[in-house]
Structure 1
């Protein structure tokens, strides 16, 4: 695997204001997003560093949710926003370098968007004790790190209830990007919700990549092929937790009359890039990564950085089921009842299949 030259702190700092990282020599990603902007009109602004997962800004899902939180913070507080994006072939050295480059350039806080940054952030946060780090979807036990986690399984349970109530064929599907514990939580909640509503319903499950291969989060063609396979076998509701690969699944579902897609992370019904498929998007399991990211940035701006593990749960609005389009209005009462059972603790949602 190609070894990429480290970007100097001076170089990346300059890039944050005017140039791209590639103009300084090398980058830590073949798919580098070097977008940065500044607003010196607001005194005391923050320098926000975002290290995206594969797919980056524009994935219509997970990364975009994180980006919304950073954009809101920058608009409210002013300052700089620097974005770097992972590639599917990343090594730990690549991720460590990406975080270190942001720290060297003075960005604070620095947010690693995705569980893949856990090991590298553990190392880098120790080297930069005066910098506040944040990681989404994993826990890093460091004094200067905010671990932003969600109860994905709870939102997915509600998606399973919705799928069970909407299927006309008693056959639904789940597509996971990569078969890692995080995505297994989505699967577990979804299948439990389906079966709790109607145990006779068949649930097909497929993962697009495995282990350290993260291509399953950034391959819309794979998502489309997987969804089409499920549709061909009789499924009429398909839920994808697969990053931008889910866009392909939504496209496939839109081509089948009477079939529904369930989106993830962002309210995908309202994503402009998916507008032509919106009539097929039943709902989305919204994971409010934007809230977690904004909360962290605001805490740094206020001088009291959030650290430790901060969980955003269903009962607190950390995860939710989107109602855009009105396609679940007819079953909303049953969904509300299921939500209340989870919030009260009457229903315990599994985190493993």
Structure 2
């Protein structure tokens, strides 16, 4: 196992963190960085709490969705736990070895806990956590504990979400809003994770209108092609535009920064065309011209998961294994910004209560949606 000296590790951590502080914008949809180097929370943090190493997913801060939600958890940790932190940016051509080296560098730099954002870090985290038993590692959307065999690592956590439950709620909203009984779904990478979003959305919509038409398109079938799946606003726009042209009037995306193109498509399609955001309340970060077309967003509280991981570390109560955030613990939900779903709120909330009580079990496989 190759290790860096402490001095080299700290220097390299600093360099990769600075790479994550500037703009990550693609030039589409106004997707600039959510925080510039000047107001980077990690540069201003001076507390004596947890020393958090954050390794972002492809797209980094500025995606107005997945990574930005993780950053909010980092901000809260600095504010409420007196944490300090550093950030590491991913690259589109990363592989398991480069991701593992990034996590090692953070651990060598004395950062603890190390939080990796995105399931792609799972193989790397499973390997590196075994090498650094005194450092706690957590993977957002991870499956790393499924890769450690019979040996449960006490310093490895996978922070997972019941995305299907939140997606069910926005599916209900879509079915109640549509005038054509024709809606759509744009997914990033076609795999088990994003299929949970699709399955919940389908189930929620069909609970309202059993014969509703739902168009589904994924931007890539390649599990390793995150760039096409999650950093592709042009692809998201093309997929959604085709759905609107075909008669769909509500399109939900689970595609990271690619979803910014869905908002563009809805706006250009005109009155009566709606988009549904994901992960964070995307109405709040969208351009003003796009806001009248964002019906709601499926909230996936990555910020809560990141903060609670940091707090658990501070309290010496980190839970190893899989930790799931569902509707019962407010780990997922839906947004009401813009007031567009106010008329349906009682019906959506009633569906949420049935999910919490167990009266409704939301499927995770689209093929099992009846």
Mapped to 1, the partners of 2:358 and 2:210 lie a distance apart of: 21
Q: 1:292 maps to what in 2?
A: 305
Distance 1:315 1:253, change over 3 A: same
| SS class of match (2:126) | helix
Partner of 1:27: none
Distance in 1 between residues matched to 2:83 and 2:360, nearest whole Å: 44
The answer for the alignment partner of 2:23 in structure 1 is none
Q: Structure 2 CA distance, aligned partners of 1:98 and 1:352?
A: 33
2:348 aligns with 335
Displacement of 1:89 in angstroms is: 1.8
Distance across 1 between alignment mates of 2:3 and 2:65: 30
Q: Structure 1 regions of 5+ residues with no counterpart? A: 25-30
How high is the TM-score relative to the length of structure 2? 0.86
Report the aligned-residue RMSD. Answer: 2.2
* Alpha-carbon distance, 1:38 to partner: 4.9
Does structure 1 residue 265 correspond to structure 2 residue 279?
yes
The range that moved more, 274-283 or 174-183, is 274-283
Q: Which residue of 2 aligns with 1:149?
A: 160
User: How many angstroms apart in 2 are the aligned matches of 1:207 and 1:220?
Assistant: 13
Contact 1:38–1:79 (CA<8 Å) still a contact in 2?
no
Q: Shift of residue 80 of structure 1?
A: 2.7
| Structure 1 residue aligned with 2:253 | 240
How many matched pairs? 337
Q: Deviations over 1:7-43 (max 9, x none)?
A: 7642442466xx534999xxxxxx9x99642533x3x
Go from structure 1 to structure 2 and tell me whether the alpha carbon gap of 1:131 and 1:206 turns closer, same or farther (over 3 Å shift): same
5 Å-filtered alignment, 1:196-211, equals: 196-210=207-221, 211=223
Is 2:364 the partner of 1:351? yes
Could you say what secondary structure the match of 2:283 adopts? helix
Q: CA deviation at 1:199?
A: 1.6
Using the alignment, how far apart are the partners of 1:69 and 1:23 within structure 2? 19
1:139 CA displacement: 3.0
Q: Aligned equivalents of 1:181 and 1:192: distance in 2?
A: 16
Question: Any conservation in 2 of the 1:137–1:147 contact (CA below 8 Å)?
Answer: yes
**Is the 1:300–1:306 contact (alpha carbons within 8 Å) kept by the matching residues of 2?**
no
Cα separation, 2, equivalents of 1:151 and 1:222: 26
TM-score, reference length from structure 1: 0.90
- Indicate if the aligned counterparts of 1:238 and 1:262 stay in contact, CA closer than 8 A: yes
Question: Residues 6, 128 of structure 1: CA spacing in aligned structure 2 closer, same or farther, 3 A cutoff?
Answer: closer
2:274 equivalent to 1:279: no
Secondary structure of the structure 2 residue equivalent to 1:255: helix
Task: Give 2:128's match in structure 1, choosing from 124, 129, 143.
Answer: 124
Q: Shift of the alpha carbon at 1:264?
A: 0.1
